Amino acid sequence: MNIIEKILAKHSNKASVKPGEIVDIFIDARIARDFGGANVVKNIVNNGLTVADASRTFFTFDCNPTGSDQKYAANQHYCRFFARENNIRVYDIDAGIGTHIAIDHGLAWPGSTLVSTDSHANILGSIGAFGQGMGDQDIAAAWAKGSLWFKVPSSVKLIFKGALSENVSAKDFALNLLNIFGANKLLGYSVEFYGDTIDKLTMDQRITIASMATEMGAIIFLFPPNKDVYDFCEEKTGRPIERIDADADAQYEEVKEIDVTGFVPMLARPGKPHDNAGVSTEMGKKIDSAFIGSCTNGRLEDLRIAAGILKGRKIAPGVVLKVVPSTDIIWMQAMEEGLIKIFKDAGAIVSNAGCAGCAAGQVGQNGPGEVTLSTGNRNFEGKQGKGFVYLASPAVVAASAVAGVITTPDSIPDVAAIFNKPLTSSFTMAPKKETRDERPLTVEGRVWVILKDDIDTDMIFHNRYLTITDIKEMGQYAFDNLKGYEDFAKKAQPNDIVITGKNFGAGSSRQQAVDCFAALGISCILAESYGAIYERNAINAAFPILTYDPKLLQSIDLQNGDRIKVDMAGGKVTNLGNGKTAEIDKFTDVQIEIYRNGGLL
């Protein structure tokens, strides 16, 4: 048998297995990330299942290791509660990428099996282990049963001949393979790597190459472990590890020799990892940002290479370089070696360990039109933001960040490229408004009586929506974080009026907390008092707000749902149902001027 067959046979208690055979394999490590973890828990709970072995079950919060996204934060905490109840180990937001944690903490070892909600769990092939990314139901089944069915894949044996050029990195090695095999020529295969070139690869280099098996459609890239790998894994697991190798008469569907002497520094063009070419074809292309990290290139060796180029240099003006180590262990090692200081001195952003932009995480995303050079393994459209992402090695990314353009370490110019001011503006400027808006100073509408004090801006318009810039989209989220009024936006009607208590709009400076009411067509708000910033925001946006004495409601017998008329200039409120009128604080002269002008601007 070959390596994959030996692993699957051992873990299914069979003497041997063959390609195409379906076996039930025991899983040594069963991992759910913050991405998909909550759904794994829901699958367990909703189906009345229990965790078979908590000692082999883990959470790894690596997609958003800062809790900077409200939904991720909610999912993470939901998983923490489940973990506490079931004695499950959580590698929390301070730990790093789950697959790397599995290697660095001894959760996986040569010949072992691991499943995760990470499509790059096959990175475990770098240490001669079987790792697979799977969906929420599969992981839930593994948690509940301890084993999963799996179809034994056919295998391909690659034998690498020749010596790599000194300027060809492990990432370049992987991109050259993509150039040979594309996205699907290895589809569904387990691929074993052999040859003197492979024997000399460090574990970090093996991790980089193994992490891109998914991009070539392979089940896994398996590297027969060398002495360094065994020594590392025995240290991390604290026990001897049985050696695993393919038999001399192992069967493969194909055996292919590849000459590595022709391998060159490569990059992948935006959109597809397999749309790649030599770095020389894109030399001089201006970049906006650069990223070093991900499960492909966030190891200590990667950081050392980048630091060696950045030391004593500065990142090009206007370019942003983001560095994210793959695990906290590596982060701490980088700090002890002075690498973090080199990055900071060069002007880079260094974040805590995790997947970062590759998984829409804490840093690394780009905006529309932004050109990014990344060490990630994927550059699908929209994967790392709305811009254009090139894939390259840490050396090329670091050199390009200094140069301001795509380049190689031996071609960094003395003077960095800068962004030229365009001859014409990229922005379509609206014509200046010459006419004043003669807006009515009297409004009528149905009243919402919400007698709560200190309604803050997060209750009015939660910070999870702050990236919205189109006012038309804001109305649907008004009050959706105010308990009891989550459906306000659905029930509100044009010209409705809100009457509320003290300190309305306390909290942040977000303009959206005003604009969301304007988007719904709310005609005005009456409160006993306002947060200072909110008051200015509303007045400057020409959105009518007024203050009133708390005796108002009683004096005009006002109930929720009544129709009222508000005279903003005269300072009067009339209950149209009974004709009763009361005084309120009227608009100031400044407020009238800004209101009539249609806003401060």
Task: Count CB atoms within 10 A of the CB of residue 148.
Answer: 20
Which of 188, 10, 215 has the alpha carbon at shortest distance from 110? 10
Low-confidence ranges of the chain (pLDDT < 50): none
Residue 4 pLDDT: 98
Measured CA to CA, the distance from residue 7 to residue 110 in angstroms comes to: 9
Indicate if the alpha-carbon torsion angle 38, 41, 43, 45 is positive or negative: negative
Q: Could you report the per-residue pLDDT of 486-516, keeping only the tens digit for each?
A: 999 999 999 999 999 999 999 888 899 999 9
Residue 155 pLDDT: 97
Two tokens at 520? 């719904």
Tally of residues, the chain: 601
In the chain, the domains with their CATH numbers are: 3-261 (3.30.499.10), 266-411 (3.30.499.10), 442-596 (3.20.19.10)
Residue 361 pLDDT: 60
The full DSSP string for 258-317 is EEGGG---EEE-TB-TTSEEEGGGGTT-B-SEEEE-HHHH-SHHHHHHHHHHHTT--PPT
Residue 35 pLDDT: 79
Burial of residue 237 (CB within 10 Å: 0-12, 13-18, 19+) is: middle
Q: Could you report the per-residue pLDDT of 509-564, keeping only the tens digit for each?
A: 889 999 999 999 999 999 999 999 999 999 999 999 999 998 888 899 999 999 99
Burial of residue 96 (CB within 10 Å: 0-12, 13-18, 19+) is: buried
Q: What is the value of pTM for the model shown?
A: 0.83
Residues 6+ apart with CB under 8 A from 210: 122, 123, 124, 125, 126, 220, 221, 223
Determine contact, residues 580/555, Cβ cutoff 8 Å. yes
Which residue reads 């005009």 in tokens?
556
Provide the 3-class DSSP secondary structure of residue 41: helix
Which of 158, 178, 210, 152 has the alpha carbon at shortest distance from 23? 152
Q: How many helices (H) and strands (E) does the chain have?
A: 20, 25
Measured CA to CA, the distance from residue 202 to residue 556 in angstroms comes to: 81
Rg for the chain, CA atoms, rounded: 30
Residue 283 pLDDT: 94
Residue 421 pLDDT: 82
Residues 6+ apart with CB under 8 A from 308: none
Residues 6+ apart with CB under 8 A from 588: none
Residue 435 pLDDT: 55
Residue 118 pLDDT: 87
